[in-house]
Chains A and B, each alone.
Chain A
């Protein structure tokens, strides 16, 4: 996260965000796009953050292409190094589309040309980019269904799942911070819209709340989840109008 944080509860920045977004609708991806080729440090940081979040789908893609675990790790690491350090993947068009597609296109471009791969290996790779925990990566990959998904399809699906997991984890952390972890545990099933999965009455009984209160809490939780999800997606698209579209595309990736 790039925005400043304070934990004293009396934070001067407490006022953010405001109801009127006005000119401050900057997302990470739009930052990167706006920076163009000569990326500013701010844009660089934004790009770096995004890469840290979405490295696994790239790994899965590379593996599914038929590379071995080490090879895949080196490739992805070399790619990030190239991307973050040199920042010269200029011929990959950033102006159109989303971060998701751009990242994959860039990786493909990189793999096709094997840029600097040797160099990255020699240096142990990713000194300035990010280091990939090979075991974690491979462990995750071993759990991928082994049927006939193409590398691209796998990448898209992994992307979607990574995104959702991230949103859920953020929401859980928020609740935990407010001491409402148990409430979250009980109500998280509701996030899929499956209201009747655990009857509110039962939850109310367990937590000592009124059924109405549980209903409200569940509703708020869903509201907050939606907000977080949209925010997260917004980070990877160019315009706020693209959010809906992106959700639909993510849905497609799950089929």
Chain B
């Protein structure tokens, strides 16, 4: 039976009714004696300023020194263990030795009636948490306050005291708006013992806690923890909220440990990027990546205030990507492998393509070498045919007789007969049908003076001397060597009709071997050599052949050594008798082809062994209508000095590869890009959904 209410119920031996009634009305504020104002040791308690955790703060008057102080007592002190008390005292005494204008000084540490307490300077004004709005949007003001706080914190660090619980509520603004750090080194005692194991109802915000604290590594905290705290204050001043928020403290702690804070500019647009960079550097998860000391932070803030560039760099794209990868190893690995695969594939494709191009070029050139030799052989055969005709004509008695008699009309008649009846086997010419391959026939005497020519020349042409011509000199060399054999001459511009041609000459000897003259057959330049067409009839390949010959001297150069340079004898684009001199680079290449051949007078028409060739990957054809370089192969025509060039356009050679590449792009690249776009779209919308989900959780 309860003596107070008469109830006979019992809860653990106590009257439940009285227990509940007792909870219903709040008792007057607990004071040792009779309420405020009251004595507490040497202090008179004037006003309760606040309570939290196990601490209560009073405005109190120090009766000995007659000054107003803030007195904090550990309300749970009566229940605190001895070891706890000892540690509290030691640490508070260390904090009491701090002397800095922006640290709220601790005056005295003591214990009264089993209740530990300490007093500190009473600073009138609110704390930073209550004044956040005063700083919003004012980056300079924020930086100024932070710089002051950082120096104060650094002061504590230099004397071996960590704050451990920096947050806006622990910064007091005095009447002048100057910030003061409160609870330096003692904060944890004030918050200690609050039984968070029963935290279902009210739990504080661990949003300012550093990752190392959140991970429970509280025994070896360093100054970096306070740098983090300063960063957290900066973050809240800039954005109006702690770095990490969530519905439950456990979630907050998880975020502190696992996620990066939302960049301040996303919460409060218009924030100075330098301040944001500073702030995020303080909030780095790895203590080693934060500022090395609070002073460094202060200096950085001062730099910002002076308008100088800050030293910290915002996290680069690469660093952000790297962090994302570390947080999301599986997708990162996947993306990495795909990127690597693409890179390798692209590299391989490029290498293969280049090798393919080289192969194609080599293949084309070797085909052209083969073709050049074949064409050269054909030309050689043709020249041999012509030479035979000349040789048979020279052996005719109808030539020898008039020559010995110096019967010029008969010689003229002979030339005409040869010119007109070149197909007549009775004359021994046996040349293939069509036009005469010989432009004209000539007979000169042993001094080089023209005796006869057909077609009929102008009157003053007869009697001209051509002893300086290459064909005469060639025939002369043969005559002196007693060789009755034809000579294939250099190409020249004819004085009779201003056309380009070359000549086949043969010495005319009498029965005693005396040299009486030279018979000359002239062959003009043009698109074909007689009926011989050199170029590949397959238009698609564009393979063409060109015949060039060394140039003979002109009359003005008589007596000088043989000139360099070449002219084109046969070319698809060449009209009859036309030509074009070739000089410069190509002429040097042509010389190069001939250099390996020793020119022998007696065996001009022999197949060279070995047959030298030169290839040109960047050949320019002066007569071609087609632009661009050619792949060309050069082969000498026996020992005549003539050279065959077989050429194909370089781009036509790669046409096949280009077709292949186009097909690859069409059937591989286009589906790939479409797929990627689709995938990107899916990922993007998933990302958006996540963002929305987070936002909805945060609001």
Contacts and interface: CB of A to CB of B under 8 A. Distances in A.
Nearest to A163: B11
Contacts of A3: 196-200, 203, 249-250
A160 to B, nearest CB: 6
A51 to B, nearest CB: 15
B195 interface: yes
Contacts of A19: 50-53, 169, 204
A169 B12 contact: yes
B19 A209 contact: no
Given A1-B197, A15-B188, A17-B199, A247 B247 contact: no
Nearest to B13: A188
B19 A164 contact: yes
B445 interface: no
Contacts of B79: 174-175, 178, 180, 183, 217, 220
Interface in A6-49: 6, 9-28, 42, 46
Given A15-B191, A220-B78, A220-B79, A161 B203 contact: no
Contact of A229 (B23, B192, B250): B23
Nearest to B252: A24
Contact of A15 (B7, B26, B113, B209): B209
A42 B697 CA distance: 15
B109 interface: no
Contact of B20 (A2, A164, A170, A174): A164
A72 to B, nearest CB: 23
Interface in A199-218: 209-210, 212-213, 215-217
A213 B112 CA distance: 9
Contacts of A9: 84, 192
B137 interface: no
A15 B165 contact: yes
B202 interface: yes
Contacts of B622: none
B215 A12 contact: yes
Given A3-B199, A168-B12, A222 B27 contact: yes
A192 B194 contact: no
Interface stretch (B216-224, B232-240, B316-324): B216-224
Given A12-B217, A216-B32, A164 B11 contact: yes
A105 interface: no
How would you classify the secondary structure of chain A's contact residues: helix, strand, loop or mixed? helix
A161 B9 contact: yes
B24 interface: yes
Given A10-B219, A12-B215, A213-B78, A17 B202 contact: yes
A209 B200 CA distance: 35
B202 A191 contact: no
Contacts of B328: none
A220 B75 contact: yes
Given A26-B247, A193-B4, A235 B201 contact: yes
B15 interface: yes
Contact of A235 (B14, B114, B200, B250): B200
A226 B79 CA distance: 16
B458 interface: no
A124 interface: no
Contacts of B530: none
Contacts of A148: none
Nearest to B197: A5
Contacts of B22: 191-193, 222, 225-226
Contacts of A18: 52-53, 191, 203-205
B136 interface: no
Interface string B66-90: 0000000001101111001000000
Given A216-B78, A254-B7, A14 B191 contact: yes
A192 B4 CA distance: 9
B19 A191 contact: yes
A104 interface: no
A12 B363 CA distance: 76
Contacts of A111: none
B204 A192 contact: no
A217 B79 CA distance: 8
A178 B20 contact: no
Interface string A210-254: 101101110110110110111100110000000010011011001
A231 B169 contact: no
B144 to A, nearest CB: 25
A231 B219 contact: no
B526 interface: no
B204 A254 contact: no
Interface string B26-45: 11001011000000000000
Contacts of B195: 174
Interface in A151-166: 157, 160-161, 164-165
B19 to A, nearest CB: 5
Contact of B30 (A26, A28, A193, A220): A220
A17 B196 contact: yes
B248 A26 contact: yes
A66 interface: no
B24 A244 contact: yes
B196 A178 contact: no
A4 interface: yes
A248 B215 CA distance: 43
B652 interface: no
B524 interface: no
A212 B113 contact: yes
A191 B75 CA distance: 18
B115 A194 contact: no
A156 to B, nearest CB: 12
A243 to B, nearest CB: 9
A162 B268 CA distance: 50
Contacts of B483: none
Contact of A16 (B7, B19, B30, B203): B203
A25 B113 CA distance: 35
B565 interface: no
Contacts of B689: none
Nearest to A170: B198
Contacts of A1: 197-198, 200
B126 interface: no
Nearest to B22: A193
Given A27-B201, A170-B198, A219 B30 contact: yes
Nearest to B26: A226
A179 interface: yes
A254 B23 contact: no
A192 B192 contact: no
Nearest to A248: B24
Interface string B578-619: 000000000000000000000000000000000000000000
A189 interface: yes
B40 to A, nearest CB: 10
A178 to B, nearest CB: 4
A20 B191 CA distance: 12
B207 to A, nearest CB: 9
B194 A178 contact: no
B216 A194 contact: no
A161 B204 contact: no
A251 B20 contact: yes
Contacts of A248: 24
A46 B248 CA distance: 13
B16 A161 contact: yes
A21 B12 contact: no
Given A14-B218, A225-B22, A231-B201, 15 more contacts: A13-B206, A17-B202, A20-B129, A20-B169, A165-B12, A170-B198, A193-B4, A209-B114, A210-B113, A217-B78, A222-B22, A226-B23, A247-B23, A254-B17, A254-B20
5 contacts: A10-B218, A15-B188, A160-B11, A220-B79, A250-B20
Interface of B: 2-4, 7, 9, 11-12, 14-24, 26-27, 30, 32-33, 50-53, 75-76, 78-81, 84, 113-115, 129, 165, 169, 188, 191-206, 209, 213-219, 245, 247-250, 253
Those 3 A-B pairs whose CB atoms lie nearest each other, nearest first: A18-B204, A19-B52, A192-B18
